[in-house]
Amino acid sequence: MLFNFGGKKMDGEILACSVEDKTLLKTKFINIVSRNIAGSIKSGAIIEPFEMTYEVIVLPDGGQVIPYFKDSDSRWKIVLISQYRPAVQEKTFEGAGGRIDDESAKMALSRELQEETGIKVDPQIIRIVFHEYGNSSIVSASVYGGIVQISAGMVEDKKEAENQSENERTQVEVFDLIRILKNRDNEKIMMDLLTSRLLDEVAKATGLLAKKY
């Protein structure tokens, strides 16, 4: 494995290290720390000490879940949340989701789904389709993506989200799966990477996108 410490490339195995965080900025949502890592690395028969310091954004793990169903015309639909996001200064469409604390990913996604859409599902029927780092270069958190098939009668289109405690002004919206995929691919709508990835996973699950691996 190749490492880069202070501009010096080192190929080897980390034997042991200590981690020390010093808080630089802490708010309600994020914690930025200066993370110092010190230890030793083995390259061949040579063992050398190493030390590096990086600024890291410490976040809780999080995730999104997208429900999908067939309507009376046998067309596949998905359920998303629309809301205005100040960070990008526009309305976005996302899967229901949020932070994952002291609970399993399936439990957290089931809870978020009910809070944001009113859709109640058994956590065990949610299929976790990926668990990945969001941005491993600067963020110490991972994200879970889930999909779940529901019945058409479980969702109400254009319904205000159940949980408005954070004044997000969110709304439940139902989309035709093929149409939203085409609009995304033609760059008529823009969405976050997590939601976009989950759209493809739903398309795979419904047979609209062939699995290539």
In the CATH scheme, what architecture does the domain 61-205 have? Answer: Alpha-Beta Complex (3.90)
- Is a pLDDT exceeding 80 seen at residue 79? yes
Question: 12 pLDDT band (50/70/90 cuts)?
Answer: low
Q: How far is CA 30 from the centre of its chain?
A: 16
- What local confidence, expressed as pLDDT, does residue 126 receive? 98
Determine what percent of the chain is predicted with pLDDT higher than 70.
Answer: 86
- What local confidence, expressed as pLDDT, does residue 51 receive? 87
- Is a pLDDT exceeding 50 seen at residue 48? yes
Question: How is the chain split into domains, by residue range?
Answer: 2-58, 61-205
Distance, in Å, from the CA atom of 139 to the CA atom of 124, rounded to the nearest integer, reads: 29
In the block, which residue shows the tokens 């429900």?
Answer: 67
- What local confidence, expressed as pLDDT, does residue 1 receive? 44
Q: What is the DSSP string of 149-168?
A: E--GGG--TTEEPS--TT--
- What local confidence, expressed as pLDDT, does residue 73 receive? 93
pTM across the whole model: 0.83
The encoded tokens of residue 121 equal 């599902």
